[in-house]
Chain A
Amino acid sequence: MTRKIKRLLLWVGTPLATFLLILSVLFAAWLNGTRIPLASGATYLKVTKTGEASFNGEPTQPTFILIVGNDYRPGVEGRRGDAIHLIGINPELKQGTILNFPRDTEVAIPGNGTNKINAANAFGGARLSAETVGNLVGVSVPYVIEADFGQFVSLINAIGGVEINVTRPMRDSNSGTSFDPGLLKLDGNQALAFSRDRYSFPSGDIARTQNQGEVILAGFKAFRAGDGSIANKFTTLSTLMRHTSLDGLGVNDLFSLESLASQIDPGNVRNVTVPVQNVGRGSNLSPTAEAQAIFADFRDDAVLQSR
């Protein structure tokens, strides 16, 4: 072997060997349960406690949580809230409601005039989103849970996927859907596609918004799949803490939210999309009179008795 060939092998082989060594150490550590794995730094969710600083979930009072899916991804800045869902949970009645807001709904955004509801998140993040939706419905929103596209995919994969009942064929190259009707187990990317597809439905964004509510409910079911023991809850919470960015809240708040969620059977949670109508300004929509009646019914106890 010539000296040139030996030098070439050394030049290529040393970094490769080092890389393989690091990879094998990481893999061994991961197998051993040590928390070095690649996912340890990944953030799946951001949970914000809003201005309701003194909020303390009462077992007799409804609690309202805003879920925002923002459209941030590489190449898209601004974090508009393209999926906006207000969850009301009534621990006393053990019922709840998800109100889904079409992203083009025109609303008053405090300090920013009138605009589409998804702009609130881009203007002022989770807190302004909570204030905007809270003002529209007439409730205080103490918590906001937010995820972007990548975080959403990671989260769904982390909980082992979600079961969704697909009600009609969905084939859309924009979102990436290719689903036949039936009960399907979707991984993170498939769930994201299901949540984004508006072209497979005559009602477009309205059906998409309703589907996003279905994904939230399915995630809720997967989240509650444990045996209810404290050991199981703490395992879930420690995993959540590792992958959640907390803004203004701590472990006790997380436990309160987890306890709240664990008390409600997802079968007792209604998934309702806010009725809207075109207002003649581009794609802008406004809540109908029926929507106002829904808000009035919802705000007192988070349950829709009239529907």
Chain B
Amino acid sequence: MNNTAEALLVAYFGIVFRRTVFLAIVVLAIAGCRGASKSGSASLKDPQVTVAVQSAGAETTVSQETQASVVSTISDYVQNGMLDPIRTGNDAEDLTNYFTPDALTRVMGDDAEVMLDNGFASASGKITGEFSQFSLNALADTQATISLIGVELTLKISGPTSDGDITITREGNLVLSPDGDNWKIRGYSMSVQRSGKGVDEAVKKAER
């Protein structure tokens, strides 16, 4: 084989090798993407908020900032205490930003079965959370300062896990008090019912 033919052969196999490697990367990337979609995701729809105020003093209103802070605290709690545990199959982690210390002790302890969604197999598709009720009630003291906010809510979470489809419905209320610039959950009265393959479907309640 002369030098020219040898050079053409090397170039040909070089091109074939590079294309093979490129194709392999593409195939692996596509496979990877498909695999990722099977590990699931979780999202929470923004609630439609209704607002009412009871004041022991002059009439007052709940500011947009306060409403946003309350919605943020509750949404983040739902995301971290319910949706993420289902998505990952791991127990809820740090919830200190959403509960007062006393309430957190109960939520992470005796009331965890009601307040958190630990113990599910990880999600195999999209888990969605949606509030069908989010009624914000504020209590103002004699100085017309908003001191407590209670939220009556109904929340439905549903989607597929690797053990099958699940549906979780919560009804009850959360009571929040101011903590610096934020609002934290200090009390609750909540019931939960879960359904799905192998799931305990009894209604469970917790109150604090």
Task: Tell me the A residues contacting B by CB distance below 8 Å.
Answer: 56, 58-59, 228-231, 233-235, 237-239, 241-242, 250-252, 255, 259, 263
B142 touches A241 (CB 8 A): yes
Minimum Cβ distance to chain A for residue B128 (Å): 26
Task: Work out how many contacts link A and B, with CB atoms closer than 8 A.
Answer: 60
A251 touching B151 by the CB < 8 A rule? no
- A259–B187 CA distance with the chains assembled, in angstroms: 9
**Residues A229 and B173 in contact, CB atoms below 8 Å apart:** yes
Chain B 161-197 interface 0/1 with A at a Cβ cutoff of 8 Å (1 = within): 0000000000001010100000000110100000000
Q: Which of the residues B102, B147, B189, B207 comes within 8 Å of A251, measured between beta carbons?
A: B147
Residues of A contacting B46 in the complex (Cβ-Cβ under 8 angstroms): none
13 residue pairs bridging A and B, Cβ less than 8 Å apart: A59-B208, A230-B151, A230-B173, A230-B175, A231-B52, A231-B150, A233-B150, A234-B54, A235-B54, A239-B56, A255-B175, A255-B187, A263-B207
- CB neighbours (8 Å) of B138 from chain A are 234
Q: Would you call B141 an interface residue if the criterion is a C-beta within 8 Å of the partner chain's C-beta atoms?
A: yes
Residues from chain B with a CB closer than 8 A to the CB of A250 are 141, 147
Question: Please, what's the 1-or-0 string for B136-160, where 1 marks a CB less than 8 Å from any CB in chain A?
Answer: 0111111000011011100000000
Closest chain B residue to A255, Cβ basis: B148
In the complex, what residues of B have CB within 8 A of residue A231's CB? 52, 54, 135, 137, 150, 152
- For chain B, the count of residues having a C-beta within 8 Å of the partner chain is 26
Contact B139 A238 (CB under 8 A): yes
B55 within 8 A of A: yes
Closest chain B residue, CB of each to CB of A240: B56
| CA–CA, A249 and B80, complex, Å | 34
- Evaluate contact between B106 and A59: CB separation under 8 angstroms: yes
**Residues in chain B near residue A58, CB distance under 8 A:** 102
Q: A231-B137, A237-B54, A255-B148 are in contact. List 18 more A-B contacts (CB 8 A).
A: A59-B106, A59-B208, A229-B173, A230-B137, A230-B150, A231-B52, A231-B54, A231-B150, A233-B150, A234-B54, A234-B138, A237-B56, A250-B141, A251-B147, A251-B148, A252-B148, A252-B186, A259-B187
Given A59-B106, A241-B142: A230 touches B186 (CB 8 Å cut-off):
no
Report A-chain residues with C-beta under 8 Å of the C-beta of B102.
56, 58
How close is A178's CB to chain B, nearest CB, in angstroms? 38
Chain B CB count within 10 A is highest, among A59, A228, A250, for A59
Residues in A neighbouring B186, C-beta threshold 8 A: 252
Do B152 and A238 touch (CB < 8 A)? no
User: Which label, helix, strand, loop or mixed, suits the secondary structure of the A interface?
Assistant: helix
B residues less than 8 Å from A238 (CB atoms): 54-56, 139-140
- Please name all residues of chain A whose beta carbon is closer than 8 Å to the beta carbon of B207 when the two chains form the complex: 259, 263
A234 adjacent to B137 (CB under 8 Å): yes
Contact call B56/A241, Cβ cutoff below 8 A: yes
Q: Are A242 and B142 in contact (CB-based, < 8 A)?
A: yes
Name the distance in Å between A55's Cβ and chain B's nearest Cβ. Answer: 12
How far is A42 from B141 in the complex, measured between Cα atoms in Å?
16
Q: Report the Cα distance A233→B173, complex, angstroms.
A: 11
Residue in B closest to A231 when the chains form the complex, CB atoms: B137
Contact partners of B150 in chain A: CB under 8 A = 230-231, 233-234
Which residues of A are found within 8 Å of B175, using beta-carbon distances? Answer: 230, 255
A230 touches B141 (CB 8 A): no
**In the complex, A251 Cα to B189 Cα: how many Å?**
19
- Chain B: CB-nearest residue to A57: B102
- The digit string for B103-144, where 1 denotes a CB below 8 A from any CB of A, is 000100000000000000000000000000001011111100
Given A234-B54, A234-B150, A238-B55, CB of A252 within 8 Å of CB of B137:
no
Chain A to chain B: the 8 pairs with minimum beta-carbon distance, closest first: A230-B150, A241-B56, A251-B147, A238-B54, A234-B54, A234-B139, A238-B56, A230-B173
Shortest Cβ distance from residue A245 to the other chain B in the assembled complex, whole angstroms: 11
B110 to chain A, nearest CB (A): 8
Contacts of B187 in A (CB 8 A): 255, 259
Q: A56 — which chain B residues lie within 8 A by C-beta?
A: 102
Contact, CB under 8 Å: B141 / A241 = yes
Inter-chain contact A252/B141, CB cutoff 8 Å: no
Q: Nearest A residue to B102 by beta-carbon distance?
A: A56
Residue on B nearest A34 in the bound complex, by CB: B59
